Amino acid sequence: MTPFPHLAVPPRRWIGAVLTLTLALPGAWAADTSATEQLARWSAQAGQPGQPERGRQLFTQRHGGEWSCASCHGNPPTAQGRHASTGKPMEPLAPAFNPKAFTDSAKVDKWFRRNCKDVLQRECSAAEKADVLAWLTRLSR
């Protein structure tokens, strides 16, 4: 017996179709979220609202390693940053200064994972990400 007899198209084809659509629409894939949405997402996961002051501390202090988040993103991250090892210029991380920041959830996840490992030698918790976003979204012109 097939697992989904009521579906005319086998489920594997559906997955294929969805994947094809996703890959064919990089634009739609890229701008799928916002800084406010990300703040809400991490706060909900953490079960508490992000705290800007804690976020500022996490971002500007070193955590046993060579770098803080600010080493690359700047302090405050409202102007172009400079990569601490490659020297490559980077767009400001604070959303009020960079409309593209936090608009792609895959990018947000990828860089949080990678950068937290570089700076804290572990992944950041949902509460820590909520704190950082609470601070970043408060930085305004």
Binder among 101, 127, 130, 134 for ligand HEC (CB under 6 A): 101
For residue 76, cis peptide bond before it (omega within 30 degrees of 0)? yes
* 127 touching ligand HEC, by CB under 6 A: no
- Nearest distance from C-beta of residue 98 to ligand HEC, angstroms: 7
Token pair 């936090």: residue: 102
**For residues 91 and 78, what is the distance between their CA atoms, to the nearest angstrom?**
9
Query: Which residues, 6 or more positions from 27, have their beta carbon under 8 angstroms from its beta carbon?
Result: none
Binder among 41, 54, 82, 107 for ligand HEC (CB under 6 A): 107
**For residues 74 and 138, what is the distance between their CA atoms, to the nearest angstrom?**
16
* 67 touching ligand HEC, by CB under 6 A: yes
Binder among 43, 78, 92, 108 for ligand HEC (CB under 6 A): 108
- Residue pair 49/134 in contact by the 8 Å Cβ criterion: yes
Q: Which residues bind ligand HEC (CB under 6 A)?
A: 67, 69, 71-73, 83-85, 90-91, 93, 101-102, 107-108, 111-112, 115-116, 118-119, 132
